[in-house]
């Protein structure tokens, strides 16, 4: 009898599983910053468009960018694209909304620098008219393909694509996103299409790890405020005129990269471009900026004694850690 | 009643019907890895270097180890990188071992060598990896339990299909989905990055392979991977890589190992 009841219970439990959810995504996730660390940590170099398939229009617009541009009220939220988390250093939180039959009708994502909670509708509702309002989070629908949640996001506002150097995305952007969980790792792939500023889809893949402490996410609002007095009610839009951006060749002079690579020409994304590179590229003589990444920034036990890093003009990283290391071996000469 | 309830459970619970290697029909032998494949990984794939461009497409400066969670010993070894020494020692393929190779600017040519072995060839460094499919739960077992053998650039890789819930075979069944989980051990010491960022012979390279097909027909192979190294890393180095399917091998461009570029 007990066995029958157990079977009945298990059966009812199984029947109550939402058929549309292959993998539980609910939880907090921390991004693993082992790729594009400079962009996602301290921020991109100005004029670093490497890895981007930009159109001439996109490149021209990006080169108008100055670091003061985001200080204008109208542009303070431009970085906060729906999938900006791919380029940010902080975490996100995912949860589901269910109907009264416990069927998932939407997945919700809240995270660092999102302008609004991202809602991925799973209830089959149609996409709005192309003329419908674009919003900070856009409009997203999702469907399960096996254990991968595939998402399409449209109706977005004009934004910047990557972090801190003005690569533009238009409100005609469409994102295709694949979210796959393997154990505690969450892989997110975004395929961004933009008929104005990109010449081909921009594909990025990142890994996140489940954070059992649940303290990721939040900060889903962009507040605007005057930051620079001279911009207040003055109508000034900080910019460089075409052809006058002094950082347009920053990557070329700093890392010996050719223009096509530094300024985001699509051909530079593919292996055959190395034929071009081979005849013209020489590695920089030494690593002068952002070299160590993890070692001293974290100050973990085992951080390298006697070795030091240059954090790109920001000064020595974590001098307290270094001085403690220096006590042990008596030397901690900064690398120049 | 009991049988019916159990049947409901078995057909609803993904662990009962799909996780791990695919199971055979009742009484029959399990299907081969090739036959059980929920997606077709074969063909030519090209790396889209849209991330870490400056560290993947070209050789960065010596000591540029940003993004990699090196230990102090790892950093010390990276600082001592000397490509001339590697060339003199016949070790110019150090950056072409599996963990470094997959991040390289390469094309992949994936074929079934036999019913249980996927062959992955690269034109970058002309390397060949073999993913040998094992029973469920045994991916990586050999390496993690200390199996001995020659250490090679591509090591020894065991793999398994991890089947998604739903789908299946037979009338009315939906499309099958799943991933490959592979674990590579027995690696000859090499570089995670061309500028001498090291991994050692105790490194374990775990990968999850997924394929995504877009509505326009584009296909992407996504390799989520972890490099664990008790000597040179503070914590696992975890990244993803993405490759786009190409219609043929017309852009296949073999190039030998190069210790400098």
Contacts of B218 in chain A (CB under 8 A): 201
Domains of chain B, residue spans: 38-165+173-246
Q: How confident is the model at residue B25 (pLDDT cuts 50, 70, 90)?
A: low
Q: Which of A3-7, A277-281, B111-115, B168-172 has the highest mean pLDDT?
A: B111-115
pLDDT at residue A58, as a whole number: 98
Distance in angstroms (rounded) separating the CA atoms of residues A42 and A163? 10
pLDDT at A222 (0 to 100): 83
Question: Is the Cβ pair B2, A257 closer than 8 Å?
Answer: no
Nearest to A35 among B63, B67, B107 (CB): B67
Rounded to two decimals, the ipTM of the complex is 0.88
For the cut 70, the answer to whether the pLDDT of residue B201 exceeds it is yes
DSSP string, B194-226: TTTEEE-TT-EEEEEEEEEE-TTS-EEEEEEEE
pLDDT band for position B149 (cuts 50, 70, 90) = confident
A295 near B CB under 8 A: yes
- Asked if the Cβ–Cβ distance from A15 to B8 is below 8 Å, we say yes
- Predicted confidence (pLDDT) per residue in A106-164, tens digit: 999 998 888 889 999 999 999 999 999 999 999 999 999 999 999 999 999 999 998 88
**Which among B105, B239, B244 has the least Cβ separation from residue A35?**
B239
Average pLDDT, chain B: 87
pLDDT of residue A289: 74
A314 Ramachandran zone, left/alpha/beta (phi>0; psi -120 to 50): alpha
Question: What is the model's pLDDT at position A16?
Answer: 45
**Is B210 in contact with A36 (Cβ distance < 8 A)?**
no
**Nearest by CB: B75 against A11, A22, A295:** A295
Closest CA to A208 of A249, A179, A237, A251: A179
CA-nearest residue to B49 within chain A is: A269
Minimal Cβ distance to A302: which of B60, B234, B251: B234
**pLDDT at position A300:** 42
Does the beta carbon of A258 lie under 8 angstroms from any beta carbon of chain B?
A: no
Cβ <8 Å between B2 and A4: yes
Mutate to test the interface with B, among A35, A174, A261 (most CBs of B within 10 A): A35
Name every chain B residue with its beta carbon within 8 A of the beta carbon of A185.
208, 224, 226, 238
* Tens digits of residue pLDDT in A263-273: 999 999 999 99
- pTM reported for the whole predicted model: 0.87
Out of A9-23, A198-212, B57-71, B138-152, least confident range:
A9-23
- Assign A322 a pLDDT band (cuts: 50, 70, 90): very low
Nearest residue of chain A to residue B176 (CA atoms): A146
Angle at A270 between CA A267 and CA A273, to 5 degrees: 65
Residue of B nearest to A277 (CA): B58
How close, in Å, is residue B242 to chain A by CA atoms? Answer: 7
- Give the model's pLDDT for residue A318: 36
Q: Note whether B38 and B176 are within 8 A (CB).
A: yes
A278 and B CB contact within 8 Å:
yes
Quote the pLDDT of residue A234: 83
pLDDT at A83 over 70: yes
A249 band by pLDDT with thresholds 50, 70 and 90 = very high
Residues of A in contact with B2 (CB under 8 A): 3-4, 7
Report d(CA A180, CA A87) in Å as an integer. Answer: 18
Q: What is the pLDDT of residue B171?
A: 57
pLDDT of residue A263: 97
Per domain, the residue ranges of chain A are 27-210, 286-336
Residue A307 pLDDT exceeds 70 = no
Rounded Cα gap, residues B155 and B153, in angstroms = 6
Contact assignment for B105 to A271 by CB distance below 8 Å: yes
CB contact under 8 A, B67 and A36: yes
Q: To probe the interface with A, which of B56, B65, B67 has the most A CB atoms within 10 Å? A: B67
CA distance A31 to A33: 6
* A309 at B interface, C-beta within 8 A: no
Query: Is B222–A180 a contact, with Cβ atoms under 8 angstroms apart?
Result: yes
Query: Cα angle at B234 between B232 and B235, to 5 degrees?
Result: 115
Q: What is the pLDDT of residue B168?
A: 55
Interface of A with B in 188-227 (CB under 8 A): 189, 191, 201-207, 209
pLDDT bin (cut points 50, 70, 90) of residue A308 is very low
Higher pLDDT, A3 or B150: B150
**Tell me: the pLDDT tens digits for B222-233?**
999 999 999 999
Q: Which of B260, B257, B261 is nearest to B96 (CA)?
A: B257
Burial environment of residue B244 by CB neighbours within 10 A (0 to 12, 13 to 18, 19 or more): buried
- C-alpha–C-alpha distance, residues B84 and B90, integer Å: 10
pLDDT tier for residue A198 given thresholds of 50, 70 and 90: very high
Which stretch of A56-60, A203-207, B64-68, B217-221 has the lowest confidence by average pLDDT?
Answer: B64-68
Within 10 Å of residue B183's Cβ, how many Cβ atoms?
24
Report residue B1's pLDDT band, with 50, 70 and 90 as the boundaries.
very low
Give the model's pLDDT for residue B141: 56
Mean pLDDT of B48-65: 95
Q: Taking CB atoms and an 8 Å limit, are A4 and B167 in contact across chains?
A: no
Q: Is A293 on the interface with B (CB under 8 A)?
A: yes
pLDDT at A214: 80
Closest chain B residue to the Cα of A279, Cα to Cα: B261
Within 8 A of A201 by CB-CB distance, chain B residues are 218
Instruction: Identify whether the C-beta of residue A37 lies closer than 8 Å to the C-beta of residue A293.
Output: yes
Q: Suggest the residue from B2, B48, B70 to mutate for an interface test with chain A (most A CBs closer than 10 A).
A: B48
What average pLDDT does the structure give for chain A? 83
Tell if the CB–CB gap between A271 and B69 is shorter than 8 Å. no
More confident residue, B146 or B105: B105
According to the model, what pLDDT value does residue A287 have? 81
Residue of A nearest to B232 (CA): A302
Helix axes B2-12, A2-15, angle to 10 degrees: 40
Of B66, B72, B107, the CB nearest to A291: B66
- The answer to whether B66 contacts A286, with C-beta atoms less than 8 Å apart, is no
Strands A148-154 and A174-182: antiparallel
């Amino acid at each position: 009898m007990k066995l029958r009841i157990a079977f009945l219970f298990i059966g009812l439990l199984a029947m109550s599983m939402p058929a549309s959810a292959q993998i539980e995504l609910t939880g907090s996730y921390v991004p693993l910053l082992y790729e594009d660390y400079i962009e996602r940590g301290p921020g991109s170099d100005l004029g670093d468009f490497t890895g981007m398939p930009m159109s001439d229009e996109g490149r021209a617009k990006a080169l108008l960018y100055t670091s003061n541009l985001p200080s204008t009220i109208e542009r303070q939220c431009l970085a906060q694209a729906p999938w900006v988390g791919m380029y940010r250093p902080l975490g996100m939180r995912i949860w589901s909304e269910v109907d009264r039959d416990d069927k998932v009708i939407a997945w919700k994502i809240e995270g660092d620098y999102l302008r609004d909670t991202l809602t991925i509708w799973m209830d089959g509702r149609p996409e709005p008219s192309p003329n419908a309002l674009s919003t900070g989070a856009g409009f997203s629908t999702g469907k399960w393909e096996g254990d991968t949640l595939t998402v399409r996001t449209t109706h977005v506002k004009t934004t910047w694509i990557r972090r801190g150097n003005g690569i533009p995305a238009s409100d005609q952007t469409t994102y295709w996103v694949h979210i796959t969980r393997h154990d505690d790792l969450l892989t997110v792939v975004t395929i961004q299409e933009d008929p104005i500023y990109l010449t081909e889809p921009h594909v990025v893949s990142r890994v996140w790890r489940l954070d059992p402490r649940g303290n990721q996410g939040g900060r889903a609002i962009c507040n605007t405020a005057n930051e620079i007095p001279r911009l207040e009610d003055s109508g000034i839009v900080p910019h460089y005129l075409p052809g006058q951006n002094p950082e347009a060749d920053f990557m070329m002079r700093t890392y010996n990269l050719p223009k096509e690579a530094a300024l985001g020409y699509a051909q530079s994304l593919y292996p055959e471009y190395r034929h071009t590179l081979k005849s013209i590229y020489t590695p920089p003589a030494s690593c002068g900026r952002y070299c160590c990444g993890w070692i001293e920034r974290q100050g973990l036990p085992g951080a390298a004694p006697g070795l030091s890093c240059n954090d790109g003009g920001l000064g020595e990283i974590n001098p307290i850690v270094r001085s403690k290391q220096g006590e042990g071996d008596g030397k901690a000469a900064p690398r120049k | 009643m009991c049988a019916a309830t159990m049947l409901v459970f078995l057909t609803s619970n993904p662990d009962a019907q799909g996780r791990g290697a695919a199971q055979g029909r009742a009484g029959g032998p399990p299907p081969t890895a090739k036959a059980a494949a929920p997606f077709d990984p074969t063909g030519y794939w090209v790396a889209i270097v849209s991330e870490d461009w400056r560290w993947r497409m070209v050789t960065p400066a010596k000591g540029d180890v940003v993004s990699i969670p090196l230990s102090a010993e790892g950093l010390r070894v990276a600082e001592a990188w000397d490509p001339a020494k590697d060339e003199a020692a016949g070790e110019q393929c150090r950056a072409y071992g599996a963990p470094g190779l997959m991040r390289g600017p390469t094309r992949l040519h994936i074929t079934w060598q036999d019913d249980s072995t996927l062959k992955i060839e690269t034109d970058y460094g002309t390397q060949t990896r073999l993913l040998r499919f094992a029973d469920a739960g045994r991916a990586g077992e050999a390496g993690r339990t200390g199996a001995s053998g020659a250490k090679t650039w591509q090591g020894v890789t065991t793999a398994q299909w991890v089947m998604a819930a739903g789908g299946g075979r037979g009338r009315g069944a939906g499309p099958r989905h799943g991933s490959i989980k592979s674990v590579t051990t027995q690696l000859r010491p090499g570089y995670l990055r061309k500028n001498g960022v090291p991994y050692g012979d105790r490194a374990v390279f775990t990968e999850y392979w997924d394929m995504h097909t877009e509505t326009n027909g584009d296909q992407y192979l996504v390799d989520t991977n972890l490099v664990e190294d008790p000597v040179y890393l503070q914590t696992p180095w975890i990244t993803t890589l993405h490759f786009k399917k190409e219609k043929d091998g017309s852009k296949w461009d073999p190039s030998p190992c190069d210790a400098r570029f």
